[in-house]
Amino acid sequence: MTHDTTTSPLVLGTMMFGTRIDEDTSYALLDRFVERGGVWLDTADCYAYWASRSGHGGDSESVLGRWLAARPGVRDRVKIATKVGAEPRWPDAPPSQHEGLSRRAVREAFEGSLRRLGVDRVDMLWLHKEDRTVPIEETVDALAELTADGSVARVGASNHPAWRVERARAHARSTGALPLDALQQSATFLRPRPGTRPNGMHAFGVLDDELSDYATTHGLEVWAYTPLLEGAYDNPDKTIPEIFEHPGSSARLDVLTKVAGELGVQKGQVVLAWLVAHGIRPMLGGSKRDQLDSALDGVRLRLSPDHLARLDAPL
């Protein structure tokens, strides 16, 4: 077992900062992440409206903004990614009544994000989920305005089907704009049964074979949320979600358990290392320092060719 000592590929997800995770704990996690070479911080304008007193998002970005202000110089050591498109228009609004991705919605949401974060630019702006009430070309043109003025360095899509990603990229290329160059999807070592998706998951939230192939072919970076199934790989008090229960999962879990035992590490750490070996950037949304340290160790774990071959073997 060897570990890489370069910058960590792990993304620290800050979804619950300021709501279920208090400010002191949030600061401690952020400090530890940077101390150990972490770079990417992921948030959204809608985090976490379902856990906030107001019924609106913004708490996560606000905590990050206060942390940045309290740590002079740290902005140069981290990269900030935020998202637009999923903030509810009013408390308890259904998904069909979220702000969406019109030009006006993108501009107003992004201005709010900059204000809460206390910055004048972000390193990645994600389209949080697709909005079929708006032509994707209108959304791309709105993003183009932000990349052109330097307030956004890169743009990506989360929870979008491959055909809309391609349409967005084609329109950007045709207008000379910066195209989407990253995808953020749910991905882990196990695969859900066909025709199923995790509870609350967006319709196109899972990284499927088509999106994966598209990303590989066109050089898009892939970020994976919920890679550890909320700790179910290692925590005996948690169970693997039912949608992953099928014969293929049993075989994959058997191989995963054996590889983890041979390396003397947790199964979740092998999952993270496996994702990194396939060019995928895992995201962690834990609330405890030991979870963070374990994940940071996991992404630096280098699997041998034999271990990768066994983990990748068709079932």
Q: Is the pLDDT of residue 271 over 70?
A: yes
Count of domains for the chain:
1
Q: Give the separation between CA 116 and CA 85, rounded to whole angstroms.
A: 16
What is the domain-level CATH number for residue 304?
A: 3.20.20.100
In the predicted model, what is the mean pLDDT of residues 144-148?
A: 98
Q: What is the pLDDT of residue 196?
A: 83
Bridging pattern class, strands 182-186 and 155-158: parallel
> Residue 5's pLDDT band (boundaries 50, 70, 90)?
very low
Within a 10 A sphere around the Cβ of 147, how many other Cβ atoms?
17
Q: How far is CA 186 from CA 103, 171, 269, 313, in A?
A: 27, 26, 17, 21
Contact by Cβ (8 Å): 99, 111 = no
Q: Is the pLDDT of residue 2 over 70?
A: no
Q: What is the pLDDT of residue 3?
A: 36
Mean predicted lDDT score pLDDT of the chain: 95
- Which structural domain range is residue 240 located in? 2-312
Share of the chain above pLDDT 90, in %: 92
Q: What is the pLDDT of residue 21?
A: 98
Share of the chain above pLDDT 70, in %: 97
How does DSSP classify residue 230?
Answer: G
| Residues 15-51: b if buried by 16+ CB within 10 A, e if exposed | bbbbbebeeeebbebbeebbeebbbbbbbbbbbbbee
The pTM is what?
Answer: 0.95
Of residues 15 and 4, more confidently modeled: 15
Among 161, 243, 249, 241, smallest CA distance to 208 is for 161
